[in-house]
Structure formats: structure tokens, C-alpha cells
Chains A and B, each alone.
Chain A
Amino acid sequence: MTTVSEEMRQLGYELSAQFADNFLGSREDRGELTLWVLPPVWREAARFLRDAGYNHLSDLTAVDYLDRDPRFDLMAIMASHVKCDFVRLKTVLGLGEPVDSLVPVWTGSNWFEREIYDLFGIEFQDHPDLKRILLPADYQGHPLRKDYPVTGPAGSRFR
């Protein structure tokens, strides 16, 4: 099993020094490094990591922890084409709380964010074209939220 390298730990220290009050902490789990920041510095922290060599936005997604406040985890996984490892950047968002879009940092995050908006209902500020992507434009609700029943909304029938 892989472990987090000293170089990556160093990166975590640098990030925490850079965003002192907005840095929440870091966690090592199963050889993966997760860094937590507060929503106001979400884009700046991503840009910091990109400039530190983590140039490939591997994935951008969210997790809904229904019983927790703030409710959502927003996470970006950034890989380095040079160091051949990846780091996970996380932030926490309450219901209806918007967050800065990462499109100015990576154009490719456009569709990832549209998907999160579609399925979780998280709004991204400064996004060029925030609309539903997988579901029809007139769809009601956000299916990947934990309070959305897996069988579809109440009273709906298979159409």
C-alpha cells in the first residue's frame, strides 16, 4: 500500500501557511492526502495547487452528507503529470451556499460543475453557462441528494 510522500506533506504545509485562517486541515487515509479549505478560498487554493505542479484536474465532484451541517463536500482531485501522484482538495458547503467556479483555472471544469449543479443543486459563481447537463432542462429536483428517493420523486410513475 502506498503512503503519502514527504514532498506532498510539505505541499500541505505550504497550503496551510498560504491560507492560514481558511485552511481547515489535512488528512491521510489509505495513502491519499486530503486537504480541507473553507469555501471563500476554494478557487485560490485550486490555483495554488495547480501552480505547484498539480496541473491535471482529474475529477470534480460532491458528496451529500444529509445529517451534517454544512451538508455537502465538494472535492477536486488534482494529479501531477510530473510527480505522478494526486492530491484531493475538499471544501464544505451548506444547502444553497454558492461557491466560486473553477472554470477560470481549468476550462474543463465547466461540465463537471454543470453536472454537480444538475445532480446536487450546488451553484457556481462566475460559471459561463450554468444549466442542467444530464437531465432535461425542465427537471425538478437534484437526484444525487440523499433526500431524493432512488425510486424517483413521490407520486411519480415510470414514464
Chain B
Amino acid sequence: MSSETKAIEYSVQEEDPSGYTIVNMGPQHPSTHGVLRLILTLDGERVVRSEPDIGYLHTGIEKTAEVKTYQQALTLTDRMDYLAPLSNNLGYSLAVEKLLGIEIPERVSHIRVLLAELQRIASHMVWLGTSGLDAGAMSMFLYCFQEREIILDLFEAVSGVRMMTSYIQPGGLMADLNPGFLEAADKVLTELEGKVDMYYGLLEKNPIWMERTKGIGILTPEVARDFCITGPVARASGVDWDLRRDRPYSAYDDYEFTVPIRTQGDSYARYIVRMEEIEQSLKICRQALGKITPPGIGVPYRTDDRKIVPPPKYEIQYSMESLIHHFKLFTEGFTPPPGDVYQTVESPRGEVGFHMVSDGSNKPYRMRVRTPSFTNVQLIPELIQDLALADVVVILASIDFVLGDCDR
């Protein structure tokens, strides 16, 4: 009922006496990567005016989190950016840990880094495949999803789920790595490292791809800062800002990597930045593999604080205190001291910020998530102004937004 009213209202509002055509692109359109609706005013092929309409995937995650305990609210974070659930898990967990004021074993931080970087590669693979598809390079999609699949297999091995992992939790990890994970990860990394050149070769010098992306959708650094843009989109415009390097979290300050920067600000620069990020992520993963000790008895995979994470099963058998801790955690959860914190992580799309407000109870008083897609979608009218309709598709792909992340 409500969507109908909305449609009518827009059509009246957007009526233009000058003879322009008004095109409703989306919400069900393959190139909008989800349910983005763009109301385009066209003069022939040229975009005169555009207005993004979001909210079709709004599920009230921030409101729902207020009635869940801290452990339960974690599962909501997977469902926001469904192409990078582990990055969101990481941001949430770090925010809650900051609220609690607890320290995490170093090994856990390294495992988190490894998983977050694998997630970045997987997410960039989806982006590369779908943006190639949008520009007419069908084969990109088929190649890239193979690579993504082997990374998701790793996630399935550690957490039991391919996408909605909830593996990184406040206090540590859901469970220790499965035996043989490090060997499997090593194999996957070797395979990916061998294929990076092939992925460059598929598009980098392709004349059609260059024609369609070079000089298209130029974003200047001033506009990027003015629109609060983060992530690869900002870095392709010369905004030198990467939270992994500039506000290191988890154990990123132990790693050596460079932040790819381009100054052209066009769709091609965004493509190159992401491709180089994949290489850097592989480098970080390699370093992480060298730092993580294999799973085994007595190897920490979560904090020892029994008020935050449940005790191991064998302890419950003989310790009354452990049994009480277990019972309290699963009936009430933990209660962080009052206050508010803001924690940012660099997701594949940019800055994800978790703003947690605690009133001293076992549920978050407010969970606010600042998502990169929200700010990046706001930029679309700025980029597609006065360009041809066919370029809109390529620019949308080069921004790489996820509507679940945008609408929450």
C-alpha cells in the first residue's frame, strides 16, 4: 500500500514541462546491485537530474538490536553488508570489547586479520565479477565467483556457514580454527596469488573496458571529503585514508602493507585501486599465516574472562563457579559499564563505524552503524550528472555499494 502512494507522489513531483524523460531505474534492475531505485531525468541519453531512492531493504536492525543481548545482536551485523559479514562482525566485536574494556589474546587478533583480509578479497571478487558483467564482460563473473567460492569454503570450514558467519564474537572467536585450516588457507592463498596476473590480464588493457571506465565518473578529492566518502572510492581520488594504517585496530600495526592510492578519481582508478588492494590483502594474509599458531589444547581463541565468554565444557563438569558463569551468560549475558564508544574498521567498501551506547544493562541502549554504502550512494547524483545513461551502469558498479549495508 505504502509503496504505491510513494510512486504516485514521485511521479507528480518529478513531472517536468521541458520535455525531459523521467526514467525509473530500479528497484528491480540487475545493474543496481540490489534494490536501489534511481529516478533519472533524461534529455535524450544525457542525465539531467537524478535522485537515488533507498530504503527498500530497511529492516530496522538498529531498533532490533535494542531488544537483543550483546551476544544476540552480533547475528544482526552479518545481515547488513552481506558481502563482508566478517568485517562487520569484527567492527561490532571491537566496539563491544572497547565498551567492556577487555584485552584480546594476540593470536585471536591475527586470526581476525586473516579472516577480514580473506573477506576483503572475496568481496572484491564479487565486485570485479559484477562490474565486468555490467560492462559486458560476461566471463569475469564466471572466473571471479570461482575464486570467491574457495574463500567461502574456508569460512564454512571454520564457522559452519558460508555467509552469515557470526564467527568473530565479542571476547574472541566462536570456536578455534578447525584442524587443517592453516594448510587449507595456505593452499587457497597460493592459488589466488597465481591468479592475480590473470585477473589483471582479463581487464586491465582491454580496450572496451578502458574506453568505458577511463575518465568516466570523475570524483575530485574535495568532493570526496565534502561527501564523507571513505574506502577505495576515496582512495582512487587521492584521499590518503585507510583505517587499517591510520587508526590501526586488531593487530594491523604488526603488518607491513601499502595503501594503494590513485589521483585520477575515475572509474578506472577505482578499478585499479581495488585490484591493488587484493594484492595487498594477499600480502597481509601471508604474514598472518606466519603469525598464527595451529589450533590445539591450551591455545587461546578467546579471552579468559568468564564473565564475557562461556567456560569450556570440561570445566563445567567439576567447577560450580563455571557452571554459574555458564548459566548467567546464557540467561542474562554480560553487562558492560555505562558509556558510549565509537569503533571503526575498514571494510571492503570503506569505513564501518559501530557506535554502541550502554546504560549498564545486558542489551545495547543504542547501536548505531555508520556504513560506507550509505554515504557512497549519496554520491551517485554528483557522479552521473550530465553523463550518458550507459555510463550510469558502469559508475554504479565502480562505487560498489551493498544495499543491505546502505539501508540496514
Q: Verify that A and B bind, or say they do not.
A: yes
A contact set with B: CB distance below 8 Å? 1, 29-30, 32, 55-59, 61, 63-64, 77, 79, 81, 84-86, 88, 106-111, 115, 119, 132-139, 143-144, 148, 150, 159
Q: Tell whether B62 is near chain A: CB-to-CB under 8 Å.
A: yes
CB distance from A127 to the nearest CB of B (A): 14
Query: With contacts A81-B240, A107-B226, A150-B64 known, is A139 near B2, CB below 8 A?
Result: yes
B contact set with A: CB distance below 8 Å? 1-3, 5-6, 9, 54-55, 58, 60, 62-64, 66-67, 98-99, 101, 225-230, 239-241, 246-247, 339-342, 344, 351, 353, 355, 357, 365-366, 368, 370, 374-375, 378, 407-408
Q: How far is the CA of A110 from the CA of B2 in the complex (A)?
A: 24
Check if B54 sits within 8 Å of A55, measured CB to CB. Answer: no
Q: How far is the CA of A71 from the CA of B365 in the complex (A)?
A: 14
Check if B55 sits within 8 Å of A106, measured CB to CB. Answer: no
Q: How far is the CA of A88 from the CA of B340 in the complex (A)?
A: 11
Check if A88 sits within 8 Å of B342, measured CB to CB. Answer: yes
Check if A84 sits within 8 Å of B55, measured CB to CB. Answer: no
Q: How far is the CA of A150 from the CA of B342 in the complex (A)?
A: 24
* Minimal Cβ-Cβ distance residue in A for B371: A59
CB distance from B336 to the nearest CB of A (A): 10
Residues of B contacting A159 in the complex (Cβ-Cβ under 8 angstroms): 1
Check if A107 sits within 8 Å of B353, measured CB to CB. Answer: no
Q: How far is the CA of A26 from the CA of B60 in the complex (A)?
A: 32
Check if A143 sits within 8 Å of B60, measured CB to CB. Answer: yes
Check if B366 sits within 8 Å of A110, measured CB to CB. Answer: no
Residues of A contacting B247 in the complex (Cβ-Cβ under 8 angstroms): 79, 84-86
Quick one: which of A30, A58, A88, A134 contacts B58, CB cutoff 8 A?
A: A134
Quick one: which of B3, B341, B351 contacts A58, CB cutoff 8 A?
A: B351
Check if A1 sits within 8 Å of B58, measured CB to CB. Answer: no
Residues of B contacting A30 in the complex (Cβ-Cβ under 8 angstroms): 98-99, 101, 339, 341
| 26 chain-A/chain-B pairs, Cβ below 8 angstroms | A29-B341, A30-B98, A30-B101, A55-B225, A56-B225, A58-B228, A59-B353, A59-B370, A63-B340, A63-B366, A77-B353, A81-B240, A81-B241, A86-B247, A108-B227, A119-B62, A134-B408, A135-B55, A137-B6, A137-B9, A138-B2, A138-B6, A143-B63, A144-B366, A150-B63, A150-B66
Query: With contacts A88-B342, A136-B5, A137-B6 known, is A59 near B355, CB below 8 A?
Result: yes
Query: With contacts A56-B241, A107-B226, A137-B9 known, is A29 near B54, CB below 8 A?
Result: no
Secondary structure type dominating chain A contacts: loop
Q: How far is the CA of A134 from the CA of B6 in the complex (A)?
A: 12
Check if B63 sits within 8 Å of A144, measured CB to CB. Answer: yes
Q: How far is the CA of A81 from the CA of B243 in the complex (A)?
A: 10
Residues of A contacting B225 in the complex (Cβ-Cβ under 8 angstroms): 55-56, 81
CB distance from A63 to the nearest CB of B (A): 5
Q: How far is the CA of A143 from the CA of B375 in the complex (A)?
A: 21
CB distance from A45 to the nearest CB of B (A): 18
CB distance from B373 to the nearest CB of A (A): 11
Residues of A contacting B241 in the complex (Cβ-Cβ under 8 angstroms): 56, 81
* Minimal Cβ-Cβ distance residue in A for B5: A138
Residues of A contacting B1 in the complex (Cβ-Cβ under 8 angstroms): 159
Q: How far is the CA of A55 from the CA of B234 in the complex (A)?
A: 14
* Minimal Cβ-Cβ distance residue in A for B365: A63
Q: How far is the CA of A55 from the CA of B370 in the complex (A)?
A: 17
CB distance from B130 to the nearest CB of A (A): 24
Quick one: which of A1, A106, A115, A133 contacts B228, CB cutoff 8 A?
A: A106
Q: How far is the CA of A139 from the CA of B5 in the complex (A)?
A: 10
Quick one: which of B67, B227, B351 contacts A150, CB cutoff 8 A?
A: B67
Check if B375 sits within 8 Å of A108, measured CB to CB. Answer: yes
Q: How far is the CA of A143 from the CA of B3 in the complex (A)?
A: 18
Residues of A contacting B340 in the complex (Cβ-Cβ under 8 angstroms): 29, 63
Residues of A contacting B229 in the complex (Cβ-Cβ under 8 angstroms): 108
Check if A32 sits within 8 Å of B342, measured CB to CB. Answer: yes
Residues of A contacting B54 in the complex (Cβ-Cβ under 8 angstroms): 133-134
Check if B342 sits within 8 Å of A134, measured CB to CB. Answer: no
Residues of B contacting A88 in the complex (Cβ-Cβ under 8 angstroms): 342
Residues of A contacting B9 in the complex (Cβ-Cβ under 8 angstroms): 137
* Minimal Cβ-Cβ distance residue in B for A115: B374
Q: How far is the CA of A30 from the CA of B355 in the complex (A)?
A: 13
* Minimal Cβ-Cβ distance residue in B for A61: B368
Q: How far is the CA of A67 from the CA of B80 in the complex (A)?
A: 30
* Minimal Cβ-Cβ distance residue in B for A152: B60
Q: How far is the CA of A85 from the CA of B344 in the complex (A)?
A: 11
* Minimal Cβ-Cβ distance residue in A for B68: A150
CB distance from A42 to the nearest CB of B (A): 17
Residues of A contacting B408 in the complex (Cβ-Cβ under 8 angstroms): 134
The residue in A1, A111, A138 that gathers the most chain B C-beta atoms within 10 A of its C-beta is A111
